[in-house]
């Protein structure tokens, strides 16, 4: 068993190696053991359309049944549909078989007990159960797999509180993911005009990689929006919990700016509300929320970290640069890209101002996209620890934030470097009020990093 597949907030690895049949059996047995400690004995299971998902589902489900667990199959769906089902049906737990935005050869598990995703400590507990082989005993009683169709209820739920004051025209890049099977019916229900791209689910993702945070993946969406004079465009990741947005001019919009637009709308009706952004988000987001009377909180990256913070801080909106947007306002507090798209549509339906003009009024900073550098799974966290010591010894005029990785900041600029929890990689981002100051902070961080690694990275 590869320990590295047990990550901060999910389990994820190469499907044919890390999640071979024997490994899936052990992970399922460990999960059955863990949930029974919570007196849970029924599990909803959904899966994405990856080529390995059906194989993994069959083995995972049959193993749960061997351990006396009731299994309810909700089919090929998105992760938010699983979250919806766990919140609305009398089932104790949930599992989504997915590798989100990773390449086709990956797969994994997003796991829940009750209405909560497993914490990092609980995910590591699964690995400990596997190591010790301390599985719950098998049951003599063998249930059959039950099937449940939750799609109609889900569509009714996400559209019920959306009020559009005019018809919205948008482009929808489904990226050959499960959302393509039903997304058009959602927008038709709201009398929107939705032009869909790549809506046939295909786990090989033949048209482009299903990661909407990478601008180059949205090339066709941009063309569609501009050519057809649409209000905006949206794109989804592999399991439908992350959104990418293109404005009416075909410009890619960073998700922290989309979060700010949504925050302004929510603060209008909820003065003083708490809103969370993760450590990669723009300084503009936090400053603007504060200026509008909101309570901004900077927090750790990762959907399970954000969900926990929403609950503890009583926040009603949160988001990540990667495109996860979480609504507690009129919703459940989890990340649903399609629901986020409906809330963006609602904002635009209440104004005659185009999305590009709304964005033009937001204070400008010069920022990089999220930068990813391949770096070994075994050494990435060690490097961040060593880099932290180097920076603390030579901090200059920067403040240091250690919530998640290292974020250094002064009045002009900030930079972040952290170890990815989903890939063998480092992630970085830089932002400043001028090119000169941006280059200065890039040089500071790259010099420190290159001295430690012997590399010649230049950002």
Strand partners, 431: 367, 414
DSSP state of 370: -
Residue 240, SS3 per DSSP: coil
- Alpha-carbon distance of 176 to 170, in angstroms, equals 18
Residue 83, SS3 per DSSP: helix
| Active-site residue list | 100
Question: With 0-12 CB in 10 A as exposed, 13-18 as middle and 19+ as buried, what is 194?
Answer: buried
- Alpha-carbon distance of 322 to 301, in angstroms, equals 9
Q: How many Cβ atoms are within 10 Å of 286's Cβ, its own excluded?
A: 18
* Tokens (6 digits) for 320: 């990540």
Query: ∠318-94-239 over CA atoms, to 5°?
Result: 55
Contacts of 419 (CB under 8 A, 6+ apart): 375, 380, 381, 383, 384, 405, 425, 426, 427
Residue 453, SS3 per DSSP: helix
* Tokens (6 digits) for 366: 């010069």
Contacts of 389 (CB under 8 A, 6+ apart): none
């Amino acid at each position: 068993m590869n320990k590295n597949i047990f990550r901060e907030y999910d389990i994820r690895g190469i499907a044919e190696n890390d999640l071979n049949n024997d490994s899936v059996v052990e992970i399922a047995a460990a999960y059955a053991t863990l949930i029974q400690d919570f007196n849970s004995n029924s599990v909803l299971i959904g899966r994405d359309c990856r080529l390995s998902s059906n194989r993994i589902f069959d083995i995972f489900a049959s193993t749960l049944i061997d351990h006396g667990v009731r299994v309810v199959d909700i089919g090929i769906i998105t992760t938010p549909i699983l979250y919806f089902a766990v919140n609305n049906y009398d089932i104790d737990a949930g599992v989504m078989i997915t590798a989100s935005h990773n390449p086709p050869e990956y797969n994994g598990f997003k796991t829940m007990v009750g209405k909560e995703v497993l914490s990092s400590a609980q995910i590591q507990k699964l690995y400990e159960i596997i190591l010790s082989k301390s599985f719950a005993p098998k049951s003599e009683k063998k249930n059959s797999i039950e099937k449940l169709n939750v799609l109609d209820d889900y569509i009714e739920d996400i559209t019920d509180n959306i009020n559009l004051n005019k018809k919205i025209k948008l482009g929808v890049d489904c990226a050959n993911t499960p959302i393509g099977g039903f997304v058009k019916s959602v927008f038709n229900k709201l009398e929107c005009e939705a032009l869909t791209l790549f809506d046939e689910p295909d786990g090989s993702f033949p048209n482009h990689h299903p990661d909407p945070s990478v601008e180059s993946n949205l090339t066709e969406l941009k063309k569609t929006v501009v050519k057809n004079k649409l209000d905006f465009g949206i794109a989804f990741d592999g399991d439908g919990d992350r959104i990418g947005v293109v404005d009416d001019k075909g410009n890619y919009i960073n998700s922290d700016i989309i979060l700010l637009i949504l925050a302004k709308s929510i603060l209008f009706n909820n003065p003083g509300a708490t809103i969370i952004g993760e450590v990669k988000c723009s300084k503009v987001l936090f400053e603007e929320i504060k200026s509008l009377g909101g309570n901004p909180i900077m927090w750790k990256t990762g959907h399970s970290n954000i969900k926990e913070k929403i609950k503890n801080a009583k926040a009603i909106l949160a988001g990540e640069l990667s495109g996860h947007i979480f609504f507690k306002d009129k919703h459940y507090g989890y990340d649903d890209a399609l629901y986020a798209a409906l809330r963006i549509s609602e904002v635009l339906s209440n104004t005659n101002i185009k999305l590009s003009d709304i964005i033009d009024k937001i204070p400008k900073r010069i920022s990089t996209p999220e930068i990813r550098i391949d770096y070994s799974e075994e050494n990435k966290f060690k490097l961040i620890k060593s880099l932290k010591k180097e920076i603390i010894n030579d901090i200059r005029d920067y403040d240091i934030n250690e919530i998640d990785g290292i974020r250094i900041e002064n009045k002009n600029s900030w930079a972040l470097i952290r170890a990815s929890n989903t890939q063998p990689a480092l992630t970085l981002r830089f932002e400043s009020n001028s090119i000169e100051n941006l280059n200065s902070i890039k040089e500071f961080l790259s010099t420190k990093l290159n001295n430690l690694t012997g590399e010649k990275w230049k950002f």
